[in-house]
A and B are shown apart, each in its own frame.
Chain A
């Protein structure tokens, strides 16, 4: 297996606070990797560093053989790594179709072509019937799907999903799970941040655990859930 993403000693300081400290991990082509940790562990900061929204204080990020740690988000997107946002970010005045088209326009300058691809993508995330509805009028579930659709339309090699299942009901979570698996079988590599253990344990082939900005464990779902450090981070230390 070849590495698609290589993260080495990634560090981000906000003033005196080390939000991410010396984190290293790889994501291989074709994998689904989960990134977990308690609140404030640095998961979203890591996402923002990987996608260029934040500049690392230290460390390197290599994507598809190329250093990307000083590139802007739009360049990273063009190279094939796209993120979704934990707090959904639709273009409120644009229709669902136009929202998704914005993703397609990265690689397809022609509007008709982008529109055609946009429709396909909307269908894949189950929003075909909402094509003409403005982004602001979609429900939260629909906006979550739209968020995936927008990112998907950029035709990423690596898709970073930030809590796409948060706030959804059981049945809706299952739909998202199926979609993510489907994307993976189509060859998209995924790095996912998720609070819901059900989602992460179900999907991930490998899991990286962060706590207070540092990597405390890495391994298969079974290994990670048996790791005493991880249990401690999530449940607190047992009193002697």
Chain B
């Protein structure tokens, strides 16, 4: 049987990543968690933004819903985040459905949809800031109860690393699988040409809403992990523009609408940004943000289809040009 690199390479990568905690320092593991979380979130954003072509600039809305739901439920009634994460996912799904229905039913597309998502996420920042029940501007702590796997709290970083590794691996597996199924093709068709898709029997409204709901659920689960890992959330760091921008940045740099693009974008950019932050943080704070900006401009100019797109183009040329 022919060796299929698109199966072998991810498995090899998974094995390497799974072995990393055996010899990595805590700091390396921390970077690993950041990379994987970024890869996970960008991959989730890419379902809606890359495949279905609806660019959300306010995906932190769903990140925040996940994070606040599980954290609030744990603080108030002691509900374990293992269950709270699904409550958060449900809320995100409901909100996602409403946003999708309202936007897409009434024909909001492209930049208008993007603006609505920014507005909603930003509105949540102010709403939560003014809600004392949710900790207001100070945010919420995830109370440390000691090492307790049942409450998703762990000593050290190894367990967190494995959780996000598994989440990311499952998500990538799911995207790879479903992007080659009916729904995956329908999302691409909606992105490529809405009228043509509709004429060929694709319920374009339903497909876009579904893509948004799936993407929202994925993002909310990521938000729960975010809260458990940092053990602290506030309106700006989960609902703010920072997470929203990172999600789409990694996806665009890696390659929109590709399985591996967003993860590759995160793997390349997060360590560089962290290095910039830690080495220049004192003298030049915000250096990593500047770096993101520069990288984005360069990618737009020289490889508008992202890293994966560039590789595909080169591959095609190598195989004897444009068919």
A89 within 8 A of B: yes
- Give the residue of B186, B188, B198 whose beta carbon is less than 8 angstroms from that of A93: B188
The answer for the CA separation of A53 and B195 in the assembled complex, in Å, is: 8
Residue of B nearest to A109 (CB): B182
Q: A98-B185, A109-B182, A137-B322 are in contact. Are A83 and B199 (CB under 8 A)?
A: yes
The answer for the CA separation of A105 and B200 in the assembled complex, in Å, is: 9
- Let me know if A91 and B189 touch, CB within 8 A: yes
8 Å CB interface, A49-76 against B: 51, 53, 72-74
Proximity bits, B184-227, A CB within 8 Å = 1, else 0: 01101100110111111111100000000000000000000000
The answer for the CA separation of A101 and B111 in the assembled complex, in Å, is: 30
- Give the residue of B180, B195, B201, B203 whose beta carbon is less than 8 angstroms from that of A154: B201
- Let me know if A150 and B323 touch, CB within 8 A: no
- Let me know if B204 and A74 touch, CB within 8 A: yes
A154 CB to nearest chain B CB (Å): 6
| Residues in A neighbouring B199, C-beta threshold 8 A | 51, 53, 73-74, 77, 82-83, 85, 89, 151
| Residues in A neighbouring B198, C-beta threshold 8 A | 53, 72-74, 77
A197 within 8 A of B: no
- Let me know if B195 and A91 touch, CB within 8 A: no
B257 CB to nearest chain A CB (Å): 8
B199 CB to nearest chain A CB (Å): 6
- Let me know if A93 and B192 touch, CB within 8 A: yes
The answer for the CA separation of A83 and B199 in the assembled complex, in Å, is: 7
Residue total for B at the interface (Cβ-Cβ under 8 A): 21
Interface of B, secondary structure class, is helix
Residue of A nearest to B197 (CB): A102
A37 within 8 A of B: no
Q: A74-B201, A74-B203 are in contact. Are A105 and B196 (CB under 8 A)?
A: no
Q: A102-B185, A109-B182, A111-B181 are in contact. Are A91 and B192 (CB under 8 A)?
A: yes
- Let me know if A78 and B201 touch, CB within 8 A: yes
Proximity bits, A82-98, B CB within 8 Å = 1, else 0: 11010001111110001
Residue total for A at the interface (Cβ-Cβ under 8 A): 33
The answer for the CA separation of A94 and B186 in the assembled complex, in Å, is: 11
A103 within 8 A of B: yes
- Let me know if A77 and B200 touch, CB within 8 A: yes
A175 within 8 A of B: no
Residue of A nearest to B181 (CB): A111
Residue of A nearest to B205 (CB): A72
A221 CB to nearest chain B CB (Å): 28
- Let me know if A111 and B188 touch, CB within 8 A: no
Q: A74-B204, A78-B201 are in contact. Are A105 and B186 (CB under 8 A)?
A: yes
8 Å CB interface, A112-132 against B: 114, 130, 132
A133 within 8 A of B: yes
8 Å CB interface, B148-162 against A: none
A57 CB to nearest chain B CB (Å): 20
The answer for the CA separation of A93 and B204 in the assembled complex, in Å, is: 18
- Let me know if B195 and A150 touch, CB within 8 A: no
Q: A53-B195, A89-B193 are in contact. Are A106 and B188 (CB under 8 A)?
A: no
B1 CB to nearest chain A CB (Å): 19
The answer for the CA separation of A105 and B199 in the assembled complex, in Å, is: 12
Most A-side CB within 10 Å, residue of B182, B199, B204, B322? B199
Q: A85-B195, A137-B322 are in contact. Are A94 and B188 (CB under 8 A)?
A: yes
Residue of A nearest to B180 (CB): A111
A44 CB to nearest chain B CB (Å): 13
- Let me know if A102 and B323 touch, CB within 8 A: no
The answer for the CA separation of A82 and B195 in the assembled complex, in Å, is: 12
Most A-side CB within 10 Å, residue of B197, B198, B200, B203? B200
- Let me know if B193 and A82 touch, CB within 8 A: no
- Give the residue of A83, A94, A105 whose beta carbon is less than 8 angstroms from that of B192: A94
- Let me know if B204 and A91 touch, CB within 8 A: no
Residue of B nearest to A104 (CB): B200
The answer for the CA separation of A137 and B316 in the assembled complex, in Å, is: 14
8 Å CB interface, B85-117 against A: none
8 Å CB interface, B45-62 against A: none
B34 CB to nearest chain A CB (Å): 32
Q: A111-B180, A111-B182, A137-B322 are in contact. Are A102 and B202 (CB under 8 A)?
A: yes
The answer for the CA separation of A208 and B11 in the assembled complex, in Å, is: 62
B185 CB to nearest chain A CB (Å): 6
17 contacts between A and B (CB under 8 A): A74-B200, A74-B204, A77-B198, A77-B199, A82-B200, A89-B199, A91-B189, A92-B193, A93-B192, A102-B185, A105-B185, A106-B201, A106-B202, A111-B180, A114-B182, A133-B323, A137-B323
Residues of B at the A interface (CB closer than 8 Å) are 180-182, 185-186, 188-189, 192-193, 195-204, 322-323
- Apart from A77-B199, A92-B193, A150-B196: 17 A-B pairs, beta carbons within 8 A: A74-B200, A74-B204, A77-B200, A78-B201, A82-B200, A89-B196, A94-B188, A102-B196, A103-B200, A103-B201, A105-B182, A105-B185, A105-B200, A114-B182, A137-B323, A153-B200, A154-B201
